[in-house]
Structure 1
């Protein structure tokens, strides 16, 4: 029984190690994709002619760039805060994702309205998450 308890106590450490390695690998992949998106934005601004430019696609690429950036920042913050994901980073990612959705798919006014309400709710959640009641010492 003692041998089993010894292994059970080591299980969370082992799972934490697997999680950390996985998040590190995801961070590397996201960093590569961020560099690829940076090149795409750079080439769009400096290499495309005016006839080739589509500003909706550029805005979409720019928001995807920020999503990659926010996910990488979330992973960095996870490692800096002793393996803790701050709630406000998830809210930032959600707001950016919904803004991208509105920009890309804005044909139906009713859906755009509801997505805007979702952003308002997330901003309210962000205010609550940043209040002193939920603030955690970093």
Structure 2
């Protein structure tokens, strides 16, 4: 009985992840279109480089989440830890680009990136990378 319940829950989770993956693909395409508009506006001189970089990093965040879902299905229903660390680093870099008013906050976020990078090195060294 418990095996049936766990299989049902796994199936529900997988269907939900497929829905999230489809939503992320739509958001990725929307961000790609927005990135094109911002790039064109930047070429014309109507936009800033920080907005362009913000859109580009948002694009990569969506891309990383989609790659995480793909890896989940390829790794026999397991999320790889290193992908979460990559997403965390990218998200904090995006935050630093968008909100860089306080020097102390920038220092704290930079230390957080350093901790994530050190964690990534430890994960790669001791756990290994599953392809």
TM-score range for the pair, normalised by the shorter chain length: over 0.9
Does 79-88 or 38-47 show the bigger shift? 38-47
Tell me which residue corresponds to 2:105.
Answer: 111
Task: Provide, for residues 9-48 of structure 1, a one-character-per-residue CA deviation record: whole Å limited to 9, x for no partner.
Answer: 2011000000100000000000000001011111222366
Per the alignment, in what secondary structure is the counterpart of residue 86 of structure 2?
A: helix
Aligned to 1:102: 96
Deviation at 1:55, TM superposition (A): 1.6
* Paired residues, number: 131
Q: Is the aligned partner of 1:63 residue 2:80?
A: no
Does the 8 Å contact 2:82/2:123 carry over to 1? yes
**What is the rounded CA distance, in whole Å, between the counterparts of 1:117 and 1:19 in structure 2?**
34
Question: Are 2:97 and 1:134 equivalent residues in the alignment?
Answer: no
Aligned position for 2:75: 81
TM-score in terms of structure 2 length: 0.93
Give the SS at the match of 1:52.
coil
Unaligned runs of 5+ in 2: none
Tell me the equivalent position of 2:18. 24
Q: Deviations over 1:55-99 (max 9, x none)?
A: 211111111111000000000000011101000000000000000
Normalization by structure 1: what TM-score? 0.89
Q: Which has the larger radius of gyration?
A: 1
Q: How far off is 1:50 after superposition? A: 2.6
